[in-house]
């Protein structure tokens, strides 16, 4: 029987050790990157709806505000936090539904746009669409403040002018 040199055992142990350390490092880096991925405040706050379900939802609900946003766009964070506080304070979240376009900005809400003969510019997120009794009343994009959103909601009679 052949005798295996000790240096082979050392090499094997060293190789296994390096593999374990490298695997741990890569796993930690991946988990850290995953935790840094931004998820929209409004995406977590409002009910989400898919493009296929929009028309049915509009038929079932008389007053709806479609909130179109990108759940991965961290530049909207401050606006969305203010909007969330505004909607909570006025108890308006039941009128809003969230449409995420993060994965399909190129095609967007193609069927919805064609059916309603509208055009949406996804460079101006967030986009608000007031739909009253199944009819689009107004499209409002790139709101700078909650007072702008409040005026939009008053114009479209989603809330009363107090």
In the chain, domain spans = 1-36, 41-155
* Global model pTM greater than 0.85: no
Given this model, what pLDDT does residue 26 score?
92
Given this model, what pLDDT does residue 137 score?
87
DSSP β-ladder status, 127-132 and 96-100: unpaired
List, for the chain, all residue ranges whose pLDDT scores fall below the cut of 50. none
Given this model, what pLDDT does residue 14 score?
94
Given this model, what pLDDT does residue 49 score?
85
Contact between residue 97 and residue 57 where contact means Cβ atoms under 8 Å apart = yes
Residue 107: CB partners within 8 Å, gap ≥ 6? none
Given this model, what pLDDT does residue 136 score?
85
CATH of region 41-155? 3.40.30.10
Contact between residue 127 and residue 73 where contact means Cβ atoms under 8 Å apart = no
Given this model, what pLDDT does residue 107 score?
65
What is the spatial order of strands in the sheet that 127-132 belongs to? Answer: 47-48, 96-100, 63-69, 127-132, 135-141
Given this model, what pLDDT does residue 36 score?
55
């Amino acid at each position: 029987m052949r005798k295996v040199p000790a240096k082979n055992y050392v090499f094997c142990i060293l190789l296994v050790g390096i593999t374990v350390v490298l695997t741990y490092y890569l796993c930690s880096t991946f988990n850290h990157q995953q935790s840094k991925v931004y998820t929209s405040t409004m995406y977590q706050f409002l009910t989400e709806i898919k493009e296929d379900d929009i028309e049915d939802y509009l038929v079932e609900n008389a007053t709806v505000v479609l909130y179109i946003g990108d759940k991965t766009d961290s530049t909207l964070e401050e606006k969305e936090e203010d909007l969330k506080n505004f909607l909570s304070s006025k108890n308006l979240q039941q009128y809003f539904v969230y449409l995420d376009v993060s994965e399909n900005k190129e095609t967007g809400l193609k069927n919805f746009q064609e059916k309603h003969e509208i055009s949406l510019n996804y460079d101006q997120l967030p986009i608000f669409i007031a739909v009253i009794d199944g009819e689009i009343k107004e499209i409002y994009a790139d709101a700078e403040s909650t007072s702008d959103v409040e005026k939009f909601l008053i114009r479209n009679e989603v809330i009363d002018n107090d």
